[in-house]
Structure 1
Amino acid sequence: MKTFEQLISSKATSFHRVVNFDIEKDKILSLDFTAENTELTNEILDETDSFSKWVNNKLLSANARYGIGGYNEHRTIYSRSAHFNTLEEPRRLHLGVDIWGEAGTPIYNFYNATVHSFANNNTFGDYGATIILTYNIDDLKFNVLYGHLSAESLNGLEKDLLIPKGKKFANLGVKEENGFWPPHLHFQVIYDMNGLDGDYPGVCKFSERDQYLTNCPDPYPILVSTFGKHL
């Protein structure tokens, strides 16, 4: 039986792009949100506009259309929100890939899917508007969580609604709609939703790393269809 990476890689040429990107001329920039990035002070992280300015300046300096990164990354940036803190151990390990870009950026479905669930997770630091789609590719069933969307992206949705390949179904939200983050897409693959609707942890405790990474495989093979050789 093929692994997730093998199956997705074999199908990637047939996938639609997730965001608009010209492989021949556009650039992406890998962004580091671990403790190694000493540029990100608490003063920057504590204020969303300052955080957004930092991201935008990085993209501008690199002449990059998008920033990207984050899978299996132990991030310090989650200290900005109590949403990720627990008494025994804070949640800091990121389980998806982030694509940082402009608010309003269109999001496209890479393959035929149905709506699993959706919600407005509007706690500070959470996903904001969230859509989860279910895919079945060569009998491999999995879900993808799309987080930090615009509020209007939730309009007209219903459970089991077909979202065809190539359809624009969402946009990146502004801070007031996306959990008060710089505009970006949280893109996370999930096998078992564990009974959850409209939400699933995008960040876990490091002590629970293995079980979460097993349930949330690396999304990069899907995104190759969008970014090609740039990944």
Structure 2
Amino acid sequence: MSVVDFDKKSDKIIALDFTQKNTSLSSEIIGNTTSFCNYIDDLLKFKDAKFGIGGYMENRTVYARSEHFGNDKEIEPRRLHLGVDIWGAVHTPIYSFMDAKIHSFAFNNTFGDYGATIILKHKLEEVVFYSLFGHLSLKNLEGIAKGDNIKKGEQFCDFGNVEENGSWPPHLHFQLMCDMENYIGDYPGVGKLSEKQKWLDKIPNPNIVLKF
């Protein structure tokens, strides 16, 4: 079960690059949320793609748009993306890829942050791990509680709009974690490049689940 509706026979995805190699993504586009949204929409339409995919352990220049990740005056701002992003239409349904319980949730309402966020707890045989779903619709946080059961294949959230998803073009930040480390409703989704090995040890590749 995937986390979004995707038919490999009929639907198309494209890889999106947010590193300095992508010279088409200017600082002017990154710095203006409307322009950034149009940039993503135009790419998907031009390629006739349902989703844009990418980001795991990608060193991204795009985080310069928000002080939340530090700034270039610092010795090392955070620029290393720790999950996988799925870029697509606002309100795209999101499903649980396996049985789970709600671990925590929050509205991380800082410019550039996750916005509405839900974290699920999973158990596979004796192994416990967690999945984070960021940039959701704020309504997804209504009427839920810690410990609620979420069944495999159940739609429990959707892509939020720019007013509730941290001011990003609509997308899902999907991330797996081995340990929540006392975080509640939040977990780092961007780290420092110098700490890449630390994050690799803590965060499995989400493509294990996504299989795009």
Do both proteins adopt the same fold according to a TM-score greater than 0.5, normalized to the shorter chain?
yes
1:71 lines up with 2:24 in the alignment: no
Tell me, in whole angstroms, the C-alpha distance in 2 between the residues paired with 1:88 and 1:193: 27
Q: Deviations over 1:165-194 (max 9, x none)?
A: 111000100000000000000000011111
Match of 1:9 in 2: none
1:48 lines up with 2:29 in the alignment: no
Tell me, in whole angstroms, the C-alpha distance in 2 between the residues paired with 1:213 and 1:92: 15
Match of 2:153 in 1: 166
Tell me, in whole angstroms, the C-alpha distance in 2 between the residues paired with 1:204 and 1:131: 20
Match of 1:3 in 2: none
Tell me, in whole angstroms, the C-alpha distance in 2 between the residues paired with 1:200 and 1:221: 20
In the TM superposition, residue 213 of structure 1 has moved relative to its aligned partner by: 1.6
Tell me, in whole angstroms, the C-alpha distance in 2 between the residues paired with 1:162 and 1:211: 31
The one of 190, 201, 208 aligned to 1:214: 201
Alpha-carbon contact 2:135-2:172 (below 8 Å) kept: yes
Match of 2:188 in 1: 201
Give 1 or 2: higher helix fraction.
Answer: 1
1:128 lines up with 2:115 in the alignment: yes
- TM-score, with length taken from structure 2: 0.97
In the TM superposition, residue 216 of structure 1 has moved relative to its aligned partner by: 0.6
Tell me the amino acid that sits aligned with residue 209 of structure 1.
K
The one of 117, 121, 131 aligned to 1:144: 131
In the TM superposition, residue 17 of structure 1 has moved relative to its aligned partner by: 2.0
Match of 1:80 in 2: 65
Tell me, in whole angstroms, the C-alpha distance in 1 between the residues paired with 2:75 and 2:109: 24
The one of 93, 97, 100 aligned to 1:113: 100
Match of 2:12 in 1: 27
- TM-score, with length taken from structure 1: 0.89
| RMSD across aligned positions (CA) | 0.9
Tell me, in whole angstroms, the C-alpha distance in 2 between the residues paired with 1:126 and 1:67: 20
In the TM superposition, residue 103 of structure 1 has moved relative to its aligned partner by: 0.6
Alpha-carbon contact 2:2-2:209 (below 8 Å) kept: no
Tell me, in whole angstroms, the C-alpha distance in 1 between the residues paired with 2:25 and 2:8: 29
In the TM superposition, residue 133 of structure 1 has moved relative to its aligned partner by: 0.2
**After TM superposition, where is structure 1 displaced by more than 3 Å over at least 4 residues in a row?**
none
SS of residue paired to 1:91: coil
Tell me, in whole angstroms, the C-alpha distance in 2 between the residues paired with 1:169 and 1:73: 28
SS of residue paired to 2:79: strand
Which structure 1 segments of 5+ residues have no match?
1-15, 225-230
Aligned residues: 210
Tell me the amino acid that sits aligned with residue 10 of structure 2.
K
Tell me the amino acid that sits aligned with residue 110 of structure 1.
F
The one of 165, 172, 175 aligned to 1:188: 175
In the TM superposition, residue 137 of structure 1 has moved relative to its aligned partner by: 1.0
Alpha-carbon contact 2:104-2:184 (below 8 Å) kept: yes
